Amino acid sequence: MRYSLGRAALPVYAVLALVYLLIPIVYTFIFSFNNTFKSNITWRGFTFNNWLTVCEEQGVCEAFGNSILIGVTSTIVATALGTAIAIALVRYEFKFRSAVSLLLFLPMATPEIVLGAGLASQFFNIGAEKGIGTVIIAHVMFCLSFVVVTVKARVSSLDPALEEAGSDLYASPSHVFWKITFPLLMPGIMSAALLSFALSFDDFIITNFNAGPTSTFPKFVYTAASKGIPAAANVVGSAVFLVAILIVVGVQIRSTIKERRLRAVK
């Protein structure tokens, strides 16, 4: 009886958890079509106008553009630095390697409000003007740890024999890296980059401490929440979610097609 009850309860629990997680997303998507007047709290009717005139809402597209710029830039920098650090930590012996590994975990364990306030104090002490540049530096600081941890796991799983085979065939170290090591690391690097971008785009606390007058999409939503989230914010949030879903589906379809082609060759 216990076994049967467990088998029945697990699907029910999974469905309930999925519904619970999707409720805010469904709410955001539905109210992106709300015919709003001053606030977007109550349903007033269906309209496509919000999607067609999304940038007419003051500040929303500028804030979204800033978030994309900050996210892409900080992701590129953090991914490049984090990949190099991960390879160094796994492949090379050097002084204070254990200390470096420990220190890289600190931003992940440190509360965001502490990290944001600390970075804001440092920028103030050196006289740096807060803006997009300071936000990018702050985002690179906390995204770097996540990139290193993700790529480090991938580097540790590589078979050194593959690189040794390239060296035995008289390939130079640079050719071995770009032709063998880098392609094998690419899944881990892409995963780290996507995680880094998601963390950067979504961040509010650290950004709020270091952005100064610069507006990002999370800051815009937080400020607008006092008046009821504008429909334009729902439109942007829904669009980002739909694009993410399309990317995931596209990757899955591509992987399935590639797998079938490999099976056909065999």
pLDDT tens-digit map of 176-232 = 888 888 888 998 999 899 999 999 998 999 999 999 888 999 998 888 777 667 888
Question: What pLDDT score was predicted for residue 110?
Answer: 84
Picking from 64, 27, 71, the residue whose alpha carbon sits closest to that of residue 224 is 64
Question: What pLDDT score was predicted for residue 4?
Answer: 64
Question: What pLDDT score was predicted for residue 207?
Answer: 93
Q: Give the CA diameter of the chain.
A: 71
Whether 204 and 218 have beta carbons less than 8 Å apart is answered as yes
Average pLDDT rounded to a whole number, residues 130-152: 92
Tokens of 215: 């507006």
**Which helix (H) or strand (E) is 229 found in, with range?**
none
Separation of alpha carbons 186 and 73, rounded Å? 19
Tokens of 229: 């989230």
47 backbone φψ class: left, alpha, beta (φ>0; ψ -120 to 50): beta
The CATH number assigned to the domain with range 59-228 reads 1.10.3720.10
Percent of the chain with pLDDT over 90: 27
Q: What is the mean pLDDT of the chain?
A: 86
Whether 191 and 82 have beta carbons less than 8 Å apart is answered as no
Q: How many of the other CB atoms lie within 10 Å of CB of 244?
A: 12
Per-residue pLDDT of 109-119, as tens digits, reads: 888 899 899 99
3-state secondary structure at position 37: coil
Residue 38: pLDDT over 80: no
- Report which residue type is found at 24: P
Handedness of CA 219, 224, 226, 229 (dihedral sign): negative
In which residue are the tokens 């300071």 written? 134
**Which helix (H) or strand (E) is 171 found in, with range?**
none
Average pLDDT rounded to a whole number, residues 105-126: 88
Q: How many of the other CB atoms lie within 10 Å of CB of 131?
A: 14
User: Which of 32 and 41 is assigned the larger pLDDT?
Assistant: 32
Picking from 254, 102, 121, the residue whose alpha carbon sits closest to that of residue 190 is 254
Per-residue pLDDT of 227-251, as tens digits, reads: 667 888 888 888 888 888 898 888 8
Handedness of CA 241, 21, 217, 129 (dihedral sign): negative
As a whole number of Å, the CA-based R_g of the chain is 23
Residue 52: pLDDT over 90: no
Question: What pLDDT score was predicted for residue 3?
Answer: 55
The torsion of the CA quartet 37, 41, 46, 49, rounded to 10 degrees, works out to 50
> Ranked by mean pLDDT, which of 77-86, 157-166, 249-258 comes out on top?
77-86
- pLDDT-based confidence at residue 266 (cuts at 50, 70, 90): low
Read off the pTM.
0.84
3-state secondary structure at position 46: strand
Separation of alpha carbons 245 and 249, rounded Å? 6
Tokens of 39: 């606030």
